[in-house]
Amino acid sequence: MLKRGPTTAKTAAALLLTMLASTGCRLLSDDAGVFVDPRDDYVTATVGPPLAVPEGMESSVGDTWPIPEVVDQPTAKTYAGEVPRPRFLASANVDAIKIQKLGTKSWIVLADAPEQVWPLVTQLVADSGVGVEREDPPAGVVETAWFALGAGAGDILREGIRAGLAEEEQTEGGAWLDRVQVRIERAIRPGSSEVHVVHYRTRSESAGDIKTSAVPEVEAELIAKIAAYFAQGPATASVSMVAREIASENKARIVADERGNPMLVLNIGFDRAWATVDGALERSEMNVVATDRDSATFRAVVLAPRRPGFFARVLSRNGGSDGTQVTISLHERAEGIVVEVRDDGGAPVSRDMAEQVLVTLREFAA
C-alpha cells in the first residue's frame, strides 16, 4: 500500500501556487472575480432616461456634465485589446518657452494652452502700468492704450520699445505715442500657444498718422522682453475661463485623403511650414539623409524601436535593419500646406508608419 508523504503534499501546494501566480490578480480584480473593479464600467455605460417631473411642477435640474458629441476621426483605429500609448520618434522634450524667427518676424511659443497664457499677458500689461484699450478673449487680443515712453520707467513694454529704437528715433519729429498689441494663437503642437506682438506709433492718434510695425527691431525686442517675463514665472499657474474659446484655428491637423492615407495639413505659409518640418526632424530620431527645397522633400530614416533582450539587440546590430527610409513631401493646396509620407518609390507607406511620422512632426513642431 502506497502512503502519501509530506513530499507529495508539498508538490501539490507548489503546483497550486504556480497556477494562482500564472493567473495574476484577475481572480481578485476582474468584474467576474471576488472583488469587482468598476473603473472601466463607463465603457459599456448607456444614457438613462431623463428625470420625470410630475405634472404641475417645474424643475431646474439640468445635465451638469453633458457628454459631448464625438467628432469623427478619419484616422482613428479600433483595438481589440488595450489601446497602445502613442510613440513619438524623439529623444528630447520640447522647450517650455522659446522664440521662433522667420525673416524679420519673431514670435513666442509656449508649451501652455492659450487659456493659461491669457492671465500672463494681462498681468504683463498691468505690471507695465499702461492702460488697456481693448481686450478680446475670443480673438486672443490684448491692446494697450496709447502711452508715452517718458511717462514711466522700468516696465517691460517701455524697455522693449526703447531698446529697439535708436536714441534719435525716440523723439524725432516731436513727441511720439506708442501702443502694443499682444495676440495669442493656438500653436502647431496641440495644447501649446503662440504669442505675437504688433507695435504702433503715432503723433496725433489719427488713423492716417498711425505707423504699424515701422521698426522691426522694436517688435523683436518686445518679444525678447516678454519671453523673459514669462520665463520668470510672474504668476502661479492659472486658467482664464473667458479665454477658453480663443477662436484661432488649429494650425495643424492630421486628416485622411480620399484613399484613407494620413496627411498633415498646416494652416501656415510655405516658408514657415518648411522651417517647421525641418526643425521637427532635427529634434527627432529620424535621421535626415537628403533635403531638396526645390522639390519640397526630405528623405529621412525612421529608426526601428529598440528590441528587448540581449540576443535581439545583438542580432539587430549584426544583420537587422536600422530603420525605414521615407520621403516627406510638402504640397501647397487649397486647404493649406499638406505634408505626406511616401516610400522610396513614391508609394504611400503603411498607415501606422505615416501616422507615426506625422504625429512626431506635429508634436515637435514650433
Helix count (H) and strand count (E) of the chain?
Answer: 8, 13
Please tell me the least confidently modeled range out of 22-36, 182-196, 251-265: 22-36
What integer pLDDT is reported at residue 138 of this predicted model? 85
Rounded Cα distance between 142 and 280, Å, is: 30
Please identify which residue in the block is written with the cell numbers 522610396: 344
Residue 17's contacts (CB-CB under 8 Å, 6 or more residues apart) are: none
Q: pLDDT, tens digit, for every residue of 15-44?
A: 666 665 555 555 555 556 556 777 777 767
Give the burial class of 102: count Cβ atoms within 10 A of its Cβ; 0-12 exposed, 13-18 middle, 19 or more buried.
middle
Percent of the chain with pLDDT over 90: 33
- By the 8 A CB rule, do 215 and 161 touch? no
- By the 8 A CB rule, do 184 and 140 touch? yes
Rounded Cα distance between 207 and 212, Å, is: 11
What integer pLDDT is reported at residue 57 of this predicted model? 79
Average pLDDT, the chain: 78
- By the 8 A CB rule, do 254 and 359 touch? yes
Higher local confidence (pLDDT), 241 or 183: 183
The one-character DSSP state at 204 is S
Q: pLDDT, tens digit, for every residue of 111-130?
A: 888 888 999 999 999 988 88
> Three-class SS of residue 171?
coil
What integer pLDDT is reported at residue 313 of this predicted model? 45
Q: pLDDT, tens digit, for every residue of 279-322?
A: 999 888 788 999 999 999 999 998 766 555 544 444 444 444 56
The top-scoring range by mean pLDDT among 143-157, 197-211, 258-272 is 258-272
Percent of the chain with pLDDT over 70: 66
pLDDT-derived band at 214, boundaries 50, 70, 90: confident
Give the burial class of 24: count Cβ atoms within 10 A of its Cβ; 0-12 exposed, 13-18 middle, 19 or more buried.
exposed
Top-level CATH class of 97-231? alpha beta
pLDDT-derived band at 132, boundaries 50, 70, 90: very high
- Domain spans of the chain? 97-231, 252-363
What integer pLDDT is reported at residue 211 of this predicted model? 87
Is domain 252-363 classified as CATH 3.30.300.30?
Answer: no
